[in-house]
Structures are given as structure tokens and as C-alpha cells.
Amino acid sequence: MLFTEPSTPTKRAKRNLQAGQAIVLIALLILVLFGMLGLAIDSGRGYVDRRDQQTAVDAAALAAGDWYENFQDLNGLVVPKSVALYQTDLRIYTGYQTASHTSTLVGTNANLPQDTYTYTFAGAYTLTIVATDTQFNGYEFEYTSSHNLALAFIQIFGGSTTVPISATATAIVGNQRQTPALLTLSNGSCATKLTGAAQLTVLGDVYTNGTACLDSNLHEAGNCYGAAGSNCGVAQYYCYNSTPGFIPYAPNPVCRPGDTQGTGIVPAPSLPDPGYLAPSVGYYAANQSYNQDNRGSYTEMFPGQYAGQFHLSGGSASCAFLEPGVYQWTGGYKSDANGSLLSNELKAPEEELWSAPGTTGVANPQFWDMNGVNCAGHFNLTVVPAPGFGIKHQGGSGNWGVEVTSVRYDRFIDPNIAPNPCYNSPGCRRESAPSSCQAVSTVDGNNSGIDVNITKNAPGAQYYNVYINPNGCDGVPNNFSFVGRHLAPGFIDGGGPPAAALGPYPSGANMTLINGVNGWPCGVPTVTICGIVFNNMSPTAQCFAQTRAKLCQAPDDELKPQCFSNCPPPANLLSQENGPMSLQYPPYGGGDVSNENYCQISPNPGNINSPCQSAQITPGAVQFYFPNGACFDQNSQGATYVFSGEQYNWIVIYSPPGSSCSNSMNGGASTQFIGTIYTPSADWSINGGNRSPLAGQVISYTATVSGSAQVGIDFNPNYAPAPPAARLIN
């Protein structure tokens, strides 16, 4: 018989005890899965939060550098605008809840200004900004963002309710590490060499890719960088800051607050050749010669190619005024004799004494009388009849003071520079600082006028502006107001600029300035000033620097002679300095509105601390271009005083790679090159005395300073190629 096993209660119970275990396991796994999902979601949110914060601080730090480069207004513009950008990127629309600002000094000598700003925002965001002025090494902006991110899932499992997320970014702008005062590109031994009894004062860094061979005569107001084996430690390290025109000084025993003392950094990494270009050379290719435009008391030179070696050797007609542009010295340039002066500086006749503006004090020496030449302009005054148009001085008689400025219009013809307000005719207006004042007295009842007589043309002047002070030569510059613009002797125009030269104008011959325009025209055609009344000559006004009308004040005055490597400078030896860069719109007068500190057009409203930041053109600027094989030889007895400008990236002497010249810069009291010397494969020997012959930067293959002269390299960021734009370094 067959039996089947019956179902038993015991087995059925076992099956019932195991029933539902999978559900429990699944439930436990779901908790784990939810925990993992929560971790993934919160981690992802944390990653996104950090990424958002990183993007926000990157953008804010970089923008801060850009705004500082353009405006240099830390508290009023740079920080507020960068904070607003940070808020926008993080979609914070309620503004900050709290803010704090502290300032201190940091660095090795506690000489570097540092500002710290802290902001808190809704949503538990905190932004900390640390802005540090590292002098020539640029302005650093460190932005740190932190956020307590609320966790969505982790806290359910007993974890923290929030997690801190942070991001940091650092930007730098204006870093002059790549643009030191002296850079030698050779990696050889003694690529930078200072020997003998010479005294070299350098404001800025000295950097060589080879070794630096120095002695204790180097006064270094910056750092010395060199390859292994450089003896940077023997230099005397002076105190400095990055203010343009700063005068270095020895620590006593430490630097003054706010200033820095440099050090030697050996070994230092190599710096590459910056590879600067000279793009405007091709637009100045016309053949030129020295004596093609003799103006009698000086020679006017034109940009272009000069065949053979140009040799400024003194003697008759040795004053040369340079029209702006590129001068190609195809056979080289040499200046070696007392009694010569070549320059593009525009100065007034009877140049004023810097310490007594608005008086009869005359500069000693006048710029165009330096180095044994006699080319400065001169004028005098005479009282003449002006029937029906006599000038009135408060119903009786009294003194009048008269000043004159030199004026010319210059073009820059490279069409690739934009904007270029100097491209089209008549070009850009340049007006010198005022002359000294000359006084004359008139009697109301005599129906008199005043003639301004040019007895010797000032080099480069196409016009003269006349200004009058009804109080005489009272020493108050703002009491002088514009009377009129007059053609210079020997020039004609068609009723307005540009002016054209008629030919040589004999020195020693008087010519009265007549037919003035834009001011107080005289009703007597042969008289300079007539028909004015004392009570109508005030109040004067500070006008737009590039225009002149009734009651406009004269341009800013000149400053004391340069003091750099030899202070105080020898009396009655150095020329005076031009006014500083300034905005051209009232209440600013433009400062120097004719020479190296003049830009077209300074922005409005702009930044008073950096008025030429975004300008493209320096009217009157020149560049010396030396093709391969053409060399430079400046002897201390010769005199060359020239400035470059914005359109040439401030490169005043350019020699392309491949030129192997051994150039000599033996600059005396009357020599200065304002701008950068860029000759990457050429050697330089530098000497000089009494003033810094170089007011800019030197980039060469090797550089040697020797002998017994005092020499200076005065690195001025206003006259150097623009440093790298703002960039992130962290």
C-alpha cells in the first residue's frame, strides 16, 4: 500500500514563523538607502554650494582687481561693487546684515597697508575681504566666503543640522614683479654689474636672469633678484613706496611708517623677455634730415628715417625741438658736445620760477638754456595808444601783470590706436606752464593799451596765449585770466589751427602779438590788449584744460627740480619739473597740459589718483627706434631730454631682438629719457650725474654701471608699460 505523508501542525508553524522577514529586511534596507540618499543629496548640495561660492569669490576678487586698476578707490568703489557682485552671483537679494572694516600694517617691517572687511548676509553667508597693498608687487585682494548649509536629511539620523562650506579666491593687480626698474635677460655671469666708485640709486626692483655682481655703492629701493651666485647682499637697501616720484632714503634705523625696505632674493626664477612691439614705426617712414626746418633760434625736427649716424655735436643751431612721432635712427644716434640740446618739451618764454609763480621770478636755468645753449624764448611789454579802446584800472592808474604760455597742436597718425583724438587735423592742443609775470602800469585817462612783444620764439611754439592780472604780479596764479590766443612770429593759419611755419624767424627781432581770438579781442588791430576794465577781470574760473575763454585761469605751474640720487640738487643746474598728471575737468586744471604728464583725454569723472589710466595718447610723445646695427651713444656733455607716451606703451628707446649693440648712456644734468628702454639683445653701460637720466624702466641683455658718476634709475609706473591686468593667483 502506498501512504502519503500527512501535513503536520509543526511544519505549518515553522513556515508561519519565517513569514514577513523579507519585509523587515527591506524596511531596514530602506532606512539605509534613505540615509545614503540623504547623504548623497546633502553632499551634492554641499558641492553645489561650494561651487557657487567659489564662482562668486572668483568673480568678486577679479572684479576688485579690475576696478582698482581703473579707479583705485578702495572704500568708495572697489569693495562695494565687488560685494554687490558677490551677492548677485549667490542670489542674495536682501543686502548684508552687518559690516565691519579694520586697517593695519603688515609685512616684514609692518609697512604694508592692509584693510579687512567682513560682511554677514541672510542665509548664514559670511564674506571676508583682505586687501593688501604690497607696493611694487601689486595690490592683493583675498576673498573668503563661508556658509553654514542647512542639511536636509542627515539631521534626521541624529547628525548636525548644518555643515560649514567655504571658498577662497585671491586676485592681484599692478604687479610690477614682471616690470622691474632694471631687467637684464642674459643668464651669464655678471649680467648686471656695478663696479668702481659709482653710486647707483634705483627706485624699483633690480632683476637679472644671470648673476648680479654688485658692490655697496648700489642704493637699492626695492628688491635685488638674481641667479645663484649673485651677491645681492652687499647692496645698501633704501626705503621706498610705490608713489610715483618718490625719493628713496636710507633707513634711520628703520623706514618711516608706510614705507618698505627691500632685500636680496637669490636664487630667483628667470623672467622671460616681455616681447614688446613697436607697431607705429611703419607710419613714420618718410626720409628726414636735421636742418630742413630752421626756425632761426632753433631747429624743428620731424619724425621719420634719418640716414647715416645722427650726430648732435653742438655749435650753431644746436637746439632741436622734436615734433611727435617715431624717429628711426637708421645709422645710430650720438650726442657728445656741450652746447647741444634735443627735446620735445614745450616751455613758455621767460619760464617762471617754480617757487614764486605769478611773480617776476624767472627760472634759473630756463629749460631751453640748459647745457650751454641759448634757445629759451623771451618777451616784453610796452604801453601803446589804443584810441577809443583804452584799458581802465579803477578810475585812475595801476599795475597790470601779464603771463604768456606756448601753444601748439600735434597729431599722432597711427590709425590703429583707438580712441585717437589726435589723429585728425588740427591734432591735440598742448599748452605750456605759464611764463614769469611781467608788470606794466597804465593811466586810465591816457587811452592806452598793452603790447606783448615776442623778442625770441620759444622752441616749438606755434601760438602764444596771453593772460592778465589786474592786480599786477601779485604772486597769486589764479588772479590771471585769459586774454587771447595769438599766432607766434613766423607762423600763419587760416583763422584757426593748425599753424604753418613761414620760414626762419630772426632772433632779436620784436614782433607784437596781435589779432587775438577766443578771449577779449582788441578793437585796435595793432595792439595786443585793449578795451578791458578792472572790474570785469574777476572772478576767474578753472576751465576745461583743453579750451580757453574769457576769465579762464592759466595752466598749472611748474614744480621744483628733481631730487633723486643727489639731494638736494645743485643750485641753478637742473631744469624744473612739469606739473603732475591731473584730471582735465573742473575743478581740476589738468596739471601739466603739454608734456609727459598730459594725456588725451583723461576720463570724466575719472579718478584723481590715476587720471590717465584709460587714456591712449600722450600728445607730443616720441619714440627712438634703432634698427638692427644702429646703436646709441649719449655722452654726458651732450643733452637729450625726451619723453615717450601712452601710444608707445611708454617705450622711449626701442631696439628689436637681434641687435647686439653696446649702448652708452652717460647722462648729465640736462639728459633724461622719460619712459622705458627696451633693447632685449643689446648691452648698456649707464653713467650720469645730478639727476636720474632714466625715469622709467630698462630692459636689456646686460647692464654695467661703472666709473665715479652718480646715476639713477627712477622707476615711475606712470612712464612704464602697463603691468599685467588683474588675475587670479589662488
Give the DSSP per-residue string, 551-603.
Answer: TBBPPPPPBPPP-SSSSSPPTTTSPPBPPPB--SSTT---BSBSSTT--BT--
**Mean pLDDT of the 407-427 span:** 95
Examine the fold and report which residue of 536, 561, 579 is the final residue of a domain before the chain moves on.
Answer: 536
Q: Which helix (H) or strand (E) holds 23?
A: helix 21-71
Contact 414, 537 (CB under 8 A): no
**Contact by Cβ (8 Å): 466, 483:** yes
Range of the domain at 376: 347-536
- The pLDDT, as a whole number, for residue 667 is 76
How does residue 522 score in pLDDT terms, banded at 50, 70 and 90? very high
Grid cell in block for residue 505: 624767424
- The amino acid that residue 570 corresponds to is P
In a domain, 525, yes or no: yes
C-alpha cell at 185: 635677460
Helix, strand, or coil (residue 250): coil
491 inside domain = yes
Helix (H, G, I), strand (E, B) or coil at 20: coil
Which pLDDT belongs to residue 506? Answer: 61
Task: Note whether 696 and 223 are within 8 A (CB).
Answer: no
pLDDT exceeds 50 at position 254: yes
Closest listed residue to residue 79, CA positions, set 129, 133, 113:
129
Whether residue 139 is found in the same domain as residue 270: no
383 found inside a domain: yes
- Region 448-461: mean pLDDT is 95
Same domain, 305 and 358: no
What type of residue is 486? H
Q: Are 81 and 109 members of one domain?
A: yes
Percentage of the chain exceeding pLDDT 90: 59
Whether 338 contacts 372, CB under 8 Å: yes
User: Which of 174, 207, 237 is a domain's end point?
Assistant: 174
Residues 133 and 152 in one domain: yes
Mean pLDDT, rounded, for 223-241? 93
pLDDT greater than 50 at residue 728: yes
Cα–Cα distances in angstroms (integers) from residue 504 to residues 377, 378, 455, 456, 679, in the given order: 15, 17, 14, 12, 38
Does residue 510 lie in a domain region? yes
Average of per-residue pLDDT across 672-701: 88
d(CA 644, CA 647): 8
Q: What are phi and psi of 155, to 5 degrees?
A: -65, -25
pLDDT value at position 1? 43
Q: Which amino acid is at 554?
A: A
Residue 442: inside a domain:
yes
- What was the pLDDT predicted at 510? 74
Asked whether residue 325 carries a pLDDT value surpassing 50, the answer given is: yes
Torsion of CA 249, 251, 254, 259, to 10 degrees: 20
Region 152-162: what's the mean pLDDT?
65
Q: What is the four-CA torsion angle of 560, 564, 566, 569, rounded to 10 degrees?
A: -10
> Is residue 336 domain-shared with residue 235, that is, in the same domain?
yes
pLDDT category at 709 given cuts 50, 70, 90 is: low
Cα separation, 145 vs 16, in Å, equals: 60
Nearest C-alpha neighbor of 412 from the set 391, 433, 430, 399: 430
Q: Both 212 and 332 in a single domain? A: yes
Q: What is the mean pLDDT of residues 2-30?
A: 58
Angle of the 21-71 helix axis to the 79-89 helix axis, nearest 10: 150
State residue 125 phi and psi, 5-degree precision: -95, 140
| 414 contacts 420 by C-beta, under 8 angstroms | yes
Residue 358 has pLDDT above 60, yes or no: yes
For residues 355 and 408, membership in a common domain is answered with: yes
Average pLDDT over residues 698-705: 92
Place of cell 605751474: 557
Amino acid type, 73: D
Asked if the structure places residue 139 within a domain, the reply is yes
Q: In the structure, what pLDDT confidence band is assigned to residue 138 with cuts at 50, 70 and 90?
A: confident
Q: What is the average per-residue pLDDT within 675-697? A: 86
Domain end, chosen from 505, 536, 567, is at 536
Q: What is the mean pLDDT of the chain?
A: 88
- What is the structure's pLDDT at 592? 95
Instruction: Reply yes or no on whether the pLDDT at 9 is more than 60.
Output: no
Q: Work out the angle at residue 680's Cα, subtended by the Cα atoms of residues 674 and 682, and round it to the nearest 5 degrees.
A: 90
Beta strands in 416-558 (DSSP E): 428-431, 438-443, 448-456, 463-469, 481-487, 491-492, 500-501, 511-512
pLDDT of residue 48: 87
The pLDDT, as a whole number, for residue 276 is 92
Based on the structure, what is the number of domains in the chain?
Answer: 3
pLDDT band at residue 403 using 50, 70 and 90 as cut-offs = very high
**pLDDT of 646 higher than 90:** yes
Q: Is 32 exposed, middle or buried (0-12, 13-18, 19+ CB in 10 A)?
A: exposed
pLDDT, residue 251, reads 94
Same domain, 361 and 497: yes
pLDDT at 20 over 80: no
pLDDT at 28: 67
- Indicate whether 3 pLDDT > 90: no
**Average pLDDT over every residue of 305-328:** 86
**543 occurs within a structural domain:** no
pLDDT at position 697 over 60? yes
Question: Distance between CA atoms of 459 and 299, rounded to whole angstroms?
Answer: 8
Does one domain contain both 331 and 352? Answer: no
Task: Report yes or no: 63 and 93 within 8 Å, Cβ to Cβ.
Answer: no
Using omega within 30 degrees of 0 as the cis cutoff, is the peptide bond preceding 586 cis? Answer: no
- Asked whether residue 225 falls in the same domain as residue 164, the answer is no
Distances (CA, A) of 365 to 300, 368, 369, 560, 575: 22, 8, 6, 12, 6
Q: Encode pLDDT of 80-124 as tens digits.
A: 999 999 999 999 988 899 999 999 988 766 778 899 999 999 888
Q: Report how far residue 245's alpha carbon sits from residue 443's, in angstroms, rounded to the nearest whole number.
A: 48
CB atoms within 10 A of CB 356: 16
Exposed e or buried b per residue across 575-609, where buried means at least 16 C-beta atoms within 10 angstroms of its C-beta: bbbbbebbbbbeebbbbbbbbbbbbbbbbeebbee
**Shared-domain flag, residues 396 and 327:** no
Q: Which residues pair with 662 in a beta bridge?
A: 683
Which pLDDT belongs to residue 38? 64
**The C-alpha cell that represents 321 in the structure block:** 625741438
For cell 587670479, name the residue.
728
Residue 39: pLDDT band (50, 70, 90) is low
Q: Which of the two residues, 319 and 175, has the higher pLDDT score?
A: 319
Has residue 609 been placed in a domain? no
Pairing of strands 310-312, 672-674: unpaired
- Cα distance between residue 135 and residue 564, in whole Å: 19
117 and 170 belong to one structural domain:
yes
